[in-house]
Amino acid sequence: MGVVFKLIGYLVVILVIAYLGSTVKLGKRTLFGHIQAIWASPEANDLKEGVKETAGPAVDKIKRGAEAGIKAIHEGSAAEWANGSAGSGSAGSGSAAPAHATP
């Protein structure tokens, strides 16, 4: 029961921050207005471009690996489906379980 109250408490805090951040003026702008202005500044744009240039090769490598993994999964599933063994669960599915001998 304590977990539910804790979750409700966190939710209330998040909602209060969202309400105050979007309605209370801090000078000319609200909190979220300041964050948006900072994110659109030339310095922030330089930072974003630098991160793209530096992390770009790593992101491309990860993306290629993920796409290759997905392709391999799909090809393996298609091969199993063509063999008739995909999801059948039948006794003749090539299971390595030993047969029980009766004395």
* Arithmetic mean of pLDDT, 73-88: 70
Measured from the Cβ of residue 32, the count of other Cβ atoms closer than 10 Å reads 14
Contact 31, 39 (CB under 8 A): no
Count structural domains, the chain.
2
At residue 79, does pLDDT exceed 90? Answer: no
29 with 47, same domain: the answer is no
Q: Report the predicted TM-score, pTM, of the whole model to 2 decimal places.
A: 0.50
Query: Do 31 and 61 lie in a common domain?
Result: no
> Where are any strands of DSSP class E within the chain?
25-26, 29-30
Q: How much is the pLDDT for 1?
A: 80
In a domain, 83, yes or no: no
Long-range CB contacts for residues 21-25, cutoff 8 Å, separation at least 24? none
Q: How far apart are CA 1 and CA 9, in angstroms?
A: 13
Q: 26: domain range?
A: 1-35
Q: Are residues 6 and 31 in the same domain?
A: yes
> For residue 96, is it within any domain?
no
More confident residue, 54 or 87: 54
Query: Residue 95 domain-assigned?
Result: no
